[in-house]
Amino acid sequence: MAADRPKLYRTRLNETQFWERLTFLIQEHSKAGLKGYVKKFNYHRTEKIFGRIEGDKFWIWKQGFFSGSIFYPIFHGQILKRKNELELEMNSKPNSLGGILFIIASISIALIIAIWLLFFVAFDSRLEKVIYLCIAFAILIISQFIPNLTYTISKRNFRKFLEEELELERTN
């Protein structure tokens, strides 16, 4: 899970319409930071769009049981005015709470597997050792894959939602 490079978008909306739609989309205002995520964490199965607007910048994210749970993306955008049209630079990054939990879980699973292999498994042959190491490696890979998959799917779905709602067209 890593931050995206900024992508340029053009919108068919004028500036007033853009800000009105964006403000309408945000159901609850919150700061994009660890304290804000923990404070506003949505334990229910409802989908909710959080965000904030500061000047010509905005942060917006969708949080809920079916939209990535803890591993949801945060979209950061900035308005760029060019040649009578409104352009937008937008990128996404994982939320800090999800990133911290991902690192803690990864380290914990790796340590549990290492302790299990070192102290609780008696190897009688090299083949048995290789099989156990393959199983441990598969568990570690799967534990890394699931949060990344959740993040990627929720990022793609929310980006499409924003493109439709804000009438965005990618320019790069």
Q: Domain ranges for the chain, please list them.
A: 7-98+155-170, 99-143
Rounded Cα distance between 84 and 87, Å, is: 10
Q: Looking up tokens 């853009």, which residue turns up?
A: 18
pLDDT tens for 41-89 read 555 556 788 889 998 999 998 876 555 567 788 899 999 877 778 889 9
Rounded Cα distance between 9 and 27, Å, is: 23
CATH topology of domain 7-98+155-170: TATA-Binding Protein (3.30.310)
Contacts of 74 (CB under 8 A, 6+ apart): 32, 59, 60, 61, 92, 93, 94, 95
Q: Looking up tokens 């049981």, which residue turns up?
A: 65
* pTM for the model: 0.77
